[in-house]
Structure 1
Amino acid sequence: MTDLFADDSPQAPHDTAPADAPLADRIRPASLSEIIGQDHITGREGAIGRMVAAGKLSSLILWGPPGTGKTSIARLLADSVGMHYMAVSAVFSGVADLKKAFAEAEKVSAMGKKTLLFVDEIHRFNKAQQDGFLPYVERGVVTLVGATTENPSFELNAALLSRAQVLVLNRLDGPALDALLTRAEAAEGKALPVTDDARRALIASADGDGRFLLNQAETLFSIAMGSPLDPAAMAALLHRRMPVYDKGADGHYNLISALHKSMRGSDPQAALYWLARMLVAGEEPLYVLRRITRFASEDIGLADPQALAQCIAAKEAYQFLGSPEGELAIVQACIYCATAPKSNAVYKAQKSAWKSAMDTGSLMPPANILNAPTNLMKDLGYGKGYAYDHDRDEGFSGDNYWPDEMSPQEFYAPVERGFEVKLRARLEHWERLRNERKD
């Protein structure tokens, strides 16, 4: 199960919070078994459960969305294995704070006790500061437990990652958040003053963040009401949580990937959902349209040449109309691409041709297709024997256009879908003519 309350106060895990403390503090888990929603790591068979059972803790990076229990897990880990607990926040701490923490850990180590150093928002430390942890981790002065909402692969030093195990915390689902509300009701000694529908709406509005949910619940508990609130009345009382979406970080790339793959999978309904998720959260519409335009060439190509035209038209329409009216054109382009026949033949052709160009270097074109604007070039054989295609039957000469040192290659292979069916037939026809004229 998992927790949701991150702060950097020195309160030990087993301390009882004062009666006037925030609700999140009053129902903070007292043991790992009380963590809600993270059984995959805190349970008996999970990584943390196994470490605690063995009584030996390695350095960890806890990676997960806000309000999923990273801080509480770190506190409870220290208590479970009998380690000295210290916490710093990368948001508020600098080099001096780290030196102080390491000095304290050295003293504790000299007395025969190990220190668990919890670093909240560890990704906010720069690379040099992250390197500063390495000697203390390697010597065993501290066992590092870092918490981050960002992808560690991009935000943490490789050296630090190699010395720590990355554990991924799940976004809290509906049952986990409902269990958290039940725990809050037990602490308050009364039911949440909302209808069943409003309770479900409250859980949905938390967007997987338990801390946010508890803050909303605390507001509801504090207001005297004659009758339970329905969803509309509750929405008027509480502010709505915006979805977690950082346009410069992981959420940005995760959602654009989901949009791209939904279109590739010809699921316009899912594609519309991910498109809406990004635009509602404030993503730049033209960025999304640029990705859809790329998709039109990469995943549709000549299976439906109109896909690219639809995207360019959507750009013109959006720039002409602006938001929000112009976003309808982006929706149209998205639906068109999601429902179009798919082919990556153009994409594969580009990759193959580019590789061949790199591999073959500076091979000259055959002399017959070289331009000969001067007499000297004509004397050297430039353009000699060139077959003008319009003078031949079917407008096709079957001439050679490849370097003399290179055999003909096949980069573009149309698929049996959409317009490329016609292109495949056309290419096969020309290949037959080419072979006949060779004979």
Structure 2
Amino acid sequence: MADLFDHSNDAPESAPRPLADRLRPRTLREVIGQDKVLGRDGPLGAMLASGQLASLILWGPPGVGKTTIARLLADETDLHFTQLSAIFTGVPDLRKVFEQAKMRRQNGRGTLLFVDEIHRFNKSQQDSFLPHMEDGTIILVGATTENPSFELNAALLSRAQVIVLERFSLADLELMAQRAEQELGRPLPLDGPAREALLEMADGDGRAALNLIEQVMGWHLSAKLDSAGLSKRLMRRAAQYDKSGDAHYNLISALHKSVRGSDPDAALYWFARMIEGGEDPRYLARRLTRMAVEDIGLADPQAQAVCLEAWQSYERLGSPEGDLALAQAVSYLALAPKSNAGYVAWKAALKLAEQTGSQPPPKHILNAPTKLMKEQGYGAGYDYDHDAEDGFSGQNYFPEGVKRPVLYQPLERGFERELSKRLAYFAKLRAKRGG
């Protein structure tokens, strides 16, 4: 029975082929940039050395060789290679693939099923792989650009090893460029800086790099181009950024930690990366305000106001002018004194409230608007603080039987240094007055 989904050999060998296809590695040793996983001590290298290939999830950005590696793994292990895309495949198609794999297995040959964009399958589609993985009908190799922890079922992840593939470095892309020059029989018509600029345009994507190289080679220039000449002919490739995907969470984490780490340059860089990627500035304004509350707090009470004013300025100006107001808030937050004492105190208060349940306040701090309430002792013995010496009575305000805790412990940084002095002052007065 013919394989309905593997069309790798449909085109005649004489047909024109893109450079990226012509330079596709023929063995795993020719694969560039993934030595950490393919090397002798890497997870795939160890699997191949043992002769035991398990189901895999290849996780990495576009253009790093996920399809190529899957095909070469099938070659190395003498498995039939079947490829399909989750975008164009439904449950009926999967059933056909599984039936074909069963027939091959009965004839003594296994199947490596490569599923591109596997994260696009829904739960029931992902579940359909499980019995066929367990009985050995298929070795599943899924490819995804999204974090498998968020996008794939736990049952599927428990039966497959996640292999992380990295974006190509400039050195990796330079090696690809050299291979392309050998394949085409002539050097790139670019000077040194322009050559580096071309590879930077690929943004770590090998397929994009080879497509750019093929485009430049097609110009048949008689003299080398410099960077300015190249930029006139080629637009810089947009950075990869998915506002709802893994890059979104990675970059906001990098921005938050750069602010917390008091590095304004790094914080501005990650902020710019998100703005350039098309992130909603209102989302960033909200996150900046959260940083002011969580990581700065009362060490600089002005930080929260700066964020709210920047947010309001953005709402009035819009982009791109309003982006500057948010960028200035980023710098302010990064350079502000840091304290999470307020955050820690709030969490501790929540925990104490949960532990103490519904215990009522002490009666002396309850109002007594009725005669009955007065008879019950509401308000009896309350000391009005404004009448007390230093405006501080030192009374207990916690429920009866609840030992007085220490929840808020300001740090010796920024304005909290002053608050620490005030706390110590009131603690001294409380002890003196027996509160």
For the aligned pair, the TM-score class normalised by the smaller chain equals over 0.9
Q: Please point out which of 2, 7, 15 is paired with 1:10.
A: 7
Work out whether residues 91 and 121 of structure 1, in 8 Å CA contact, stay in contact via their aligned partners in 2.
yes
Which of 204, 209, 216 does residue 208 from structure 1 map onto?
Answer: 204
Whether contact under 8 Å (1:363, 1:405) holds in the other structure is no
What residue in structure 2 maps to residue 79 of structure 1? 75
Deviation at 1:324, TM superposition (A): 1.0
Listed as ranges, the gaps of 5+ residues in structure 1 are 1-7
Alpha-carbon distance in structure 2 between the residues aligned to 1:422 and 1:77: 64
Tell me, in whole angstroms, the C-alpha distance in 1 between the residues paired with 2:154 and 2:337: 42
Pick aligned residue for 2:180 from 176, 184, 206: 184
Q: Do 1:365 and 1:403's aligned partners in 2 also have CA atoms closer than 8 Å?
A: yes
Q: Which residue of 1 aligns with 2:29?
A: 33
Aligned partner (choices 426, 430, 435) of residue 430 of structure 1: 426
* SS of aligned partner of 1:373: coil
Residue number in structure 2 paired with 1:95: 91
Alignment match of 2:189 (pick from 189, 193, 197): 193
1:18 touches 1:26 (CA, 8 Å); kept in 2? no
Using the TM superposition, give the Cα deviation of residue 359 of structure 1 relative to its aligned residue in structure 2, in angstroms: 1.5
Q: How far did 1:235 drift?
A: 1.8
> Is the Cα contact below 8 Å between 2:288 and 2:330 reproduced in 1?
yes
- Kept in 2: contact 1:302–1:419 (CA 8 A): yes
3-state SS in 2 of match to 1:166 = strand
What letter matches 1:399 in structure 2?
Answer: Q
Deviations 1:401-429 (A, max 9, x none): 00002111111100011111110111011
Which residue in 2 is equivalent to 1:323? Answer: 319
1:56 aligned to 2:55? no
Whole-angstrom CA distance in 1 between matches of 2:73 and 2:7:
15
Query: What is the count of residue pairs matched by the alignment?
Result: 430
- The 3-state SS of whatever aligns with 1:61 is strand
The equivalent of 1:356 in structure 2 is 352
Aligned to 1:421: 417
Q: Could you say what the CA RMSD is over the residues aligned between the two structures, in angstroms?
A: 1.4
* Residue equivalent to 2:290: 294
Distance 1:179 1:185 in 2: 10
Report the CA distance between 1:285 and its aligned residue. Answer: 0.5
Residue identity in the other structure for 1:423 = L
Residue 236 of structure 1: CA displacement? 2.0
Q: Deviations over 1:260-308 (max 9, x none)?
A: 0000000000000000000111100010111110000100000010100
Q: Distance in 1 between matches of 2:190 and 2:184?
A: 15
Partners of 2:115 and 2:255 in 1: CA distance: 34
Matched, 1:119 2:100: no
Cα distance change of structure 1 residues 245 and 182 upon mapping to structure 2, 3 Å threshold: same
Structure 1 stretch displaced more, 338-347 or 196-205: 196-205
Counterparts of 1:362 and 1:143 in 2: how far apart (Å)?
Answer: 57
Q: Deviations over 1:171-229 (max 9, x none)?
A: 11110111111111111011111111111111111111111111111111111212112
Task: Name 1:221's counterpart in structure 2.
Answer: 217
Contact 2:66 2:143 in 1 (8 A): yes
Verify: 1:154 aligned to 2:150, yes or no.
yes
Change in Cα spacing, 1:126 to 1:159, as seen in structure 2 (3 Å) is same
Classify the secondary structure of the residue corresponding to 2:433. Answer: helix
Shift of 1:17: 5.7
- State the one-letter code of the partner of 2:313: A
TM-score by length of 2: 0.97
1:11, CA displacement in angstroms? 2.9
Does the 8 Å contact 1:19/1:26 carry over to 2? no
Say whether 1:270 aligns with 2:266: yes
Deviates more, 1:221-230 or 1:73-82: 221-230
Higher mean C-alpha deviation, range 387-396 or range 127-136: 387-396
The answer on whether the counterparts of 1:364 and 1:403 sit within 8 Å (CA) in structure 2 is yes
SS at match of 1:117: strand
Does 162-171 or 188-197 show the bigger shift? Answer: 188-197
1:300–1:340: 8 Å Cα contact kept in structure 2? yes
- 1:284 equivalenced with 2:280 (yes/no): yes
Candidates 368, 373, 377, aligned match of 1:377? 373
8 A contact 1:17–1:26 mirrored in 2: no
How far apart, in 1, do the equivalents of 2:317 and 2:16 lie? 53
2:208 alignment partner, SS class: helix
* Residue-by-residue CA offset, 1:2-32 (whole Å, 9 max, x unaligned): xxxxxx86337xx996472100111100000
**What is aligned with 1:249?**
245
Q: Normalized against structure 1, the TM-score is what?
A: 0.96
In 2, Cα distance between equivalents of 1:161 and 1:44? 24
TM-aligned CA deviation for residue 91 of structure 1 = 1.1
Q: Would the aligned equivalents of 1:78 and 1:85 in 2 still touch at CA under 8 Å?
A: yes
Q: CA–CA distance in 1 between the matches of 2:14 and 2:274?
A: 42
Q: Partners of 2:323 and 2:13 in 1: how far apart?
A: 50
Note if 1:174 corresponds to 2:190: no
Equivalent-residue separation in structure 2 for 1:17 and 1:55 (angstroms): 32
Gaps of 5+ in 2: none
Matches within 5 A, 1:329-408: 329-408=325-404
Give the whole-Å Cα distance in 1 for the aligned partners of 2:416 and 2:84. 60
Q: What is the identity, as a one-letter code, of the residue corresponding to 1:143?
A: I
CA contact (8 A) 2:6 2:82 kept: no
The SS at the match of 1:228 is coil
CA contact (8 A) 1:349 1:411 kept: yes
Cα 1:17–1:177 change in 2 (3 A) is farther
Structure 1 counterpart SS, 2:166: coil
